[in-house]
């Protein structure tokens, strides 16, 4: 499990995972932490599943189904914010 404790550290970990897993070059001028990962084609539906597994295993959380269609779940910064909210108990996965 990763020891990322701030939204910035979480965003760094998520960005690193996405760049590695989906072969996004550092030189990609269109990619940023605010990019819409789905609309801009960086992550597809299978990749979304991989991302959820990464988040759950890396941060010791269960991603609530309700956030999967949240506008925040489209960018790295938004995902980092949601991870932080889940860790703080502000968002809870249904059992």
Tens of pLDDT along 39-68?
A: 999 999 999 999 999 999 999 999 999 899
Average pLDDT of the segment spanning 22-44:
97
SS3 content of the chain, % helix, strand, coil (to 5): 50, 0, 50
Is CATH 1.10.1200.10 the classification given to domain 7-22+32-87? Answer: yes
pLDDT-based confidence at residue 5 (cuts at 50, 70, 90):
confident
Q: What is the mean pLDDT of the chain?
A: 93
Residue 4's pLDDT is 78
Q: How far apart are CA 30 and CA 90, in angstroms?
A: 32
This prediction's pTM: 0.91
Any idea where the domains of the chain sit in the sequence?
Answer: 7-22+32-87
Per-residue pLDDT at 19 exceeds 80: yes
């Amino acid at each position: 499990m990763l020891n990322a404790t701030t939204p910035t550290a979480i965003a760094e970990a998520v960005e690193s995972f996405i760049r590695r897993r989906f072969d996004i070059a550092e030189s990609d001028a269109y990619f940023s932490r605010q990019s819409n990962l789905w609309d801009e084609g960086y992550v597809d539906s299978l990749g979304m599943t991989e991302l959820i597994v990464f988040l759950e295993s890396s941060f010791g959380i269960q991603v609530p189904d309700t956030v999967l269609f949240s506008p925040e779940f489209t960018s790295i910064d938004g995902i980092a914010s949601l991870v932080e909210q889940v860790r703080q108990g502000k968002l809870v996965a249904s059992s």
